[in-house]
Chains A and B, each alone.
Chain A
Amino acid sequence: MSVLIILLIVSIIVAGGFLLAFLWSLKDGQMDDDFSPSIRILFDEKKQDKSTI
């Protein structure tokens, strides 16, 4: 079952990559504001949705 080792290595690389991305996102302040991004995405169209915005 040596292929398990390969899969574990690959999976751990992927997971490690995600861990790095997670740490980066913390450091970069991606998670400092957990409210306004959800509102902001609703406001990027000016021409359309006149009735709702």
Chain B
Amino acid sequence: MQLKDTSGNISVQSPSIPFQQIPALEQYYYDNKIVKAFAYATMLWALVGMLVGVLAAFQLAFPVLNFNYPYTTFGRIRPVHTNAVIFAFVGNGIFMGVYYSLQRLLKTRMFSDRLGWIHFWGWQGIIVTAAVTLLAGYTTGKEYAELEWPVDIAITLVWVIFGVNMFGTILKRRERHLYVAIWFYIGTWVTVAMLHIVNSFEMPVSFMKSYSWYAGVQDALVQWWYGHNAVAFFLTTPYLGLMYYFIPKAANRPVYSYRWSIIHFWALIFIYIWAGPHHLLYTALPDWAQSLGVAFSLMLILPSWGGMLNGLMTLRGAWDKVREEPVLKFFVVALTCYGMATFEGPMLSLKSVNAITHFTDWTVAHVHVGALGWNGFLTFGILYWLIPRIFQTPLYSKKMATNHFWIGTLGIVLYAVPMYWAGFSQALMWKEFTPEGTLKYQFLETVTSLVPMYALRGIGGLIYLVGAIMMVVNLVKTIKGGKLLANEAAQAPALPKAYVKTGKESWHSWIERRPVQMLVGSLIVVAIGGIIELVPTFLIKSNIPTIASVKPYTPLELEGRDLYIREGCYTCHSQMIRPFRDEVARYGEYSKAGEFVYDHPFQWGSKRTGPDLARIGGKYPDSWHYNHMLKPTLVSPGSIMPQYSWLLDNDLDTTLTAGKIRAMQTMGVPYEPGYHKIAVKELLTQAEKIKEGLAKEKIKTPARKEIIAMIAYLQRMGKDIKGEKAASTAANTP
């Protein structure tokens, strides 16, 4: 629509529309009921997710809190925490904000009430299933993508339903201009769909067991391409959209610069998806990919800070309101934390900084400044603003909300400072050598010195949770004092059709005028086609081992590896020795890409709460591992590792062993044809050997126990490459 009239003056209405053709006002109603539902879910999952987080935090300080019970042990609790706060709390927060703002920005009700409710209940169902299955030990072993394949499919379906509902609303809008927030929502939807599908390529073995299609380095790259963009497109872009709607609304001021916000969106969206490799610095990933990731990560500071400043400057001249209004207080700290996290992110992407911070609690601090500050506080602010509006009543207690703000802020500080401290001091201890050239600290010493920090961090988290409980109490009282305005009346003229139909039209000219459908349609078509065609060929071919001595896992080791995945060992142990003097001195030769070609999924980990395990094989006798799993403090006093005594009691389940071997064969792991038929027999032979070995060390155990498989796997890790060395030395000796 032309906005300039003949004299060049800007006019709001197109002068070409005669007066009598101006469309009549249409009456419609905003759906607040669905917003209410998502708001309740946001509050519920906030409390659940944070409570689990507090438990996980204190487990690191006081291992007794693992209760020596599989379902309450850190390795399973931690994925429940991360999934709950990201996909349940923040996820519902996104949907709450989108369903509220999209209707108002587009001057229309949502496309379909029914789709909205399917979306709502579908998402809650996924959350409950996720919690139950993760606690039960069903996991793919890939961080932030732990859910097994049936759940992955359910997520895809619900996400598509959300997309249909959102794009449907955009199409029936009464406002031609798409406000910048909507662009952020669109970017979120498209990218999350793509990431989730590509990263969730799995080979099902049974109903609740699958292996990642990708192996080793390839799996790592896909995982962190996904992992980084989960932060970018689930925790950041949708929240920026919410920020651009709710901060101006709460301050009753237009955003500082609308032009800037548009530049912010396009710059951010084009830069963000290339930054993933910064999670894999100094690993076996090709150097150019690492450098590409670093370069884009550095660039990210510009759009990120642009957005942060744009949000803060929106409050120019309104700082008196910030003094009185807790909603704005939350928003200011949310933006400040966003600014800190997005300054820190590019800095942590520098290889020299990353060499120190990676695998330490620094990363944990970094993430939580963003999560507690940016996501948490923005959500709290939106809830405090939105609930009184849809329930047509003032907030029950402004004072309580202000107290929540201060308590929450204190919680963030008490969380972050000890973690920064822990991360930095541990990294320095890891790297310290004595004048004689030996490592100064045992790994265990670097852990026990952190225990007070872990306790403090737990207290910080607990304080933050107390604040969230106060909010829920405050909002419940507000809700009780008000009445939901389920259908909010509004009026607007219909959108004038800019396009005038002339003569016959083909389907193609129809789609040409509908860029959104065309975008979505073509993306889906191209992506599905491309992926289905490329993935199997590329991946199977590339699984040809590059190190001759690296062999597939034996059936027993494979079962042990699956136990390693089930118990979430990767949440505390890495399997990636970086090429640094201290790491080589502590763990052995640095890790090579060719060592991981049969690792479906990779288990490199991202945090060393415990030591690296890439070359644990052969380091200790079997009996050491047996006792260590029974009670870690028996063999390493002061250890904060949980007990895994049930591995000693549980019988090893071999019903899936043959299927697992076949699945591996399908993905190109070179087991002999027909090997799956003798897999269980081979497994038992190896188990008997380990049993006999243990008997010599005065440990009596049946062979068919989970501990035997676990020992087999641990004793195998990192050994193949030593075989290569021995072989080549032997060959070179005359």
- The chain A residue with its CB closest to the CB of B284 is A1
State whether A14 touches B190 (Cβ < 8 A): yes
State whether A1 touches B190 (Cβ < 8 A): no
Which stretch of B370-378, B520-528, B685-693 is in the interface? B520-528
Contacts of A13 in B (CB 8 A): 194, 523, 526-527, 530
Q: Closest Cβ of chain B: how far from A23's Cβ, in Å?
A: 9
Contacts of B12 in A (CB 8 A): 36
Beyond A24-B515, A31-B262: 12 further Cβ-contacts under 8 Å? Answer: A3-B219, A6-B534, A11-B273, A14-B191, A14-B194, A15-B270, A38-B248, A39-B254, A42-B252, A44-B104, A45-B104, A46-B490
Give the complex CA separation of A1 and B248 in angstroms. 46
Q: Closest Cβ of chain A: how far from B533's Cβ, in Å?
A: 10
State whether B258 touches A5 (Cβ < 8 A): no
Contacts of A2 in B (CB 8 A): 218, 538-539, 541-542
Task: Tell me the chain A residues, 18-47 only, with Cβ under 8 Å from chain B.
Answer: 18, 20-22, 24-25, 28-42, 44-47
> Quick one: CB contact mask for B246-271 with A, threshold 8 Å, 1 for yes?
00110011110011011000100110
State whether B217 touches A5 (Cβ < 8 A): no
Contacts of B286 in A (CB 8 A): 1, 4
Q: List 11 A-B contacts (CB under 8 A).
A: A1-B217, A6-B198, A10-B531, A15-B270, A30-B177, A31-B262, A33-B3, A37-B179, A40-B175, A41-B254, A42-B248
Task: Tell me the chain B residues, 203-219 only, with Cβ under 8 Å from chain A.
Answer: 214, 217-219
B177 contacts which of A1, A15, A33 (Cβ < 8 Å)?
A: A33
State whether B539 touches A52 (Cβ < 8 A): no
Contacts of A33 in B (CB 8 A): 3, 177
A-side residues, CB < 8 A to B, are: 1-7, 9-11, 13-15, 17-18, 20-22, 24-25, 28-42, 44-49, 52-53
- The chain A residue with its CB closest to the CB of B251 is A42
Give the complex CA separation of A16 and B481 in angstroms. 50
State whether B535 touches A6 (Cβ < 8 A): yes
Contacts of A52 in B (CB 8 A): 252
Give the complex CA separation of A29 and B112 in angstroms. 28
- The chain A residue with its CB closest to the CB of B542 is A2
Task: Tell me the chain B residues, 168-203 only, with Cβ under 8 Å from chain A.
Answer: 175-180, 183, 186-187, 190-191, 194, 198
The answer to whether the Cβ of B225 comes within 8 Å of any Cβ in the partner chain is yes
Q: Closest Cβ of chain A: how far from B281's Cβ, in Å?
A: 16
Total residues of chain B contacting the partner, CB 8 A: 64
Q: Closest Cβ of chain B: how far from A28's Cβ, in Å?
A: 8
Q: Closest Cβ of chain A: how far from B595's Cβ, in Å?
A: 15
Asked whether A42 and B249 contact (CB < 8 A) given A6-B534, A17-B190, A21-B519, the answer is: yes
Contacts of A40 in B (CB 8 A): 175
State whether A18 touches B270 (Cβ < 8 A): yes
State whether A14 touches B273 (Cβ < 8 A): yes
Give the complex CA separation of A41 and B107 in angstroms. 10
Task: Tell me the chain B residues, 563-589 only, with Cβ under 8 Å from chain A.
Answer: none
Contacts of B179 in A (CB 8 A): 37, 41
State whether B519 touches A17 (Cβ < 8 A): yes
Asked whether A9 and B534 contact (CB < 8 A) given A15-B270, A18-B270, the answer is: yes
State whether A37 touches B258 (Cβ < 8 A): yes
State whether B519 touches A38 (Cβ < 8 A): no
State whether B3 touches A5 (Cβ < 8 A): no
Q: Closest Cβ of chain B: how far from A4's Cβ, in Å?
A: 6
Q: Closest Cβ of chain A: how far from B219's Cβ, in Å?
A: 8
The answer to whether the Cβ of B289 comes within 8 Å of any Cβ in the partner chain is yes
Asked whether A41 and B248 contact (CB < 8 A) given A2-B542, A5-B538, A13-B527, the answer is: yes
Asked whether A7 and B541 contact (CB < 8 A) given A17-B522, A37-B177, A38-B255, the answer is: no
> Quick one: CB contact mask for B79-107 with A, threshold 8 Å, 1 for yes?
00000000000000000000000001101
State whether A15 touches B526 (Cβ < 8 A): no
Asked whether A3 and B530 contact (CB < 8 A) given A10-B198, A11-B274, A18-B269, the answer is: no
- The chain B residue with its CB closest to the CB of A34 is B259
Contacts of B254 in A (CB 8 A): 38-39, 41-42
Give the complex CA separation of A22 and B178 in angstroms. 12
Asked whether A7 and B222 contact (CB < 8 A) given A1-B542, A14-B190, the answer is: yes
Give the complex CA separation of A12 and B527 in angstroms. 11
Give the complex CA separation of A24 and B512 in angstroms. 11
Q: Closest Cβ of chain B: how far from A10's Cβ, in Å?
A: 6
Q: Closest Cβ of chain B: how far from A18's Cβ, in Å?
A: 5
The answer to whether the Cβ of B245 comes within 8 Å of any Cβ in the partner chain is yes
Q: Closest Cβ of chain A: how far from B280's Cβ, in Å?
A: 12
Q: Closest Cβ of chain B: how far from A44's Cβ, in Å?
A: 5
Give the complex CA separation of A51 and B21 in angstroms. 35
Give the complex CA separation of A33 and B490 in angstroms. 24
Contacts of A21 in B (CB 8 A): 186, 515, 519
The answer to whether the Cβ of B705 comes within 8 Å of any Cβ in the partner chain is no
Asked whether A34 and B258 contact (CB < 8 A) given A9-B530, A20-B519, the answer is: yes
Q: Closest Cβ of chain A: how far from B276's Cβ, in Å?
A: 8
The answer to whether the Cβ of B389 comes within 8 Å of any Cβ in the partner chain is yes
State whether B258 touches A38 (Cβ < 8 A): yes
Contacts of B593 in A (CB 8 A): 1
Contacts of B416 in A (CB 8 A): none
Contacts of B253 in A (CB 8 A): 42
Contacts of A53 in B (CB 8 A): 252
Chain A CB count within 10 A is highest, among B177, B219, B221, for B177
- The chain B residue with its CB closest to the CB of A7 is B225
State whether A29 touches B1 (Cβ < 8 A): yes
Give the complex CA separation of A17 and B270 in angstroms. 11
State whether A44 touches B490 (Cβ < 8 A): yes
